[in-house]
Amino acid sequence: MIDHEMNQSHIKKDSIMAGVINATINGLIYWFTNAQGGNVLLTSDMISSTEHTVMAGAVPLAVSLAFILTSISYFIWKLPGKPAYFPVFFRMALKHSIFAFGLVVIFAVLLQRFAGSVHVSTLIASVITGFIAGIAGGTITFLTISELLNYSLRDVKQSDKP
């Protein structure tokens, strides 16, 4: 039988691990792809800017991580009563992607509104990108595994009924 309390600590540990791994990997990827030195725009004071900014790169990063991590978490966790991936968890992956898009865009627009055009070093840009990837990775992993556990607990309760 599945114990909800026992699995909460496991879910938190897995979520933190996913966040740290994603922060490290994506921060390093940003560092090596933009290691030409100099300053990078964190935000630009124009929405229609053609220049690359850290926050403009963070949006598709968070959206793609949300979809990928929801799908990976679904296939890694083996629990009884897990529904089929399509359509239940496919819709959840889309929902998590929209959630990540909204949060990062809101944060980026507010930062742009209150800070304007901000230049940061490549190191700081890598840390910010890693931080956003870590938060997205940990949050999405936690949400997905919690939902998987809820499905499994529902299945166990239904099978215990006479």
pLDDT digit string, tens, across residues 74-106:
999 888 888 999 999 999 999 999 999 999 999
Type and span of the H or E element at 39: strand 39-43
Please, what is the end-to-end C-alpha distance for the chain in angstroms? 16
Tell whether the model's pLDDT for residue 133 goes beyond 80: yes
pLDDT at 4: 56
Q: How confident is the model at residue 124 (pLDDT cuts 50, 70, 90)?
A: very high
Neighbouring C-beta atoms of residue 155, cutoff 10 Å: 16
- What backbone torsions phi and psi does residue 120 show, to the nearest 5 degrees? -130, 165
CA distances from 85 to 12, 50, 77, 102 (A): 23, 38, 12, 24
Summary mean pLDDT of the chain: 89
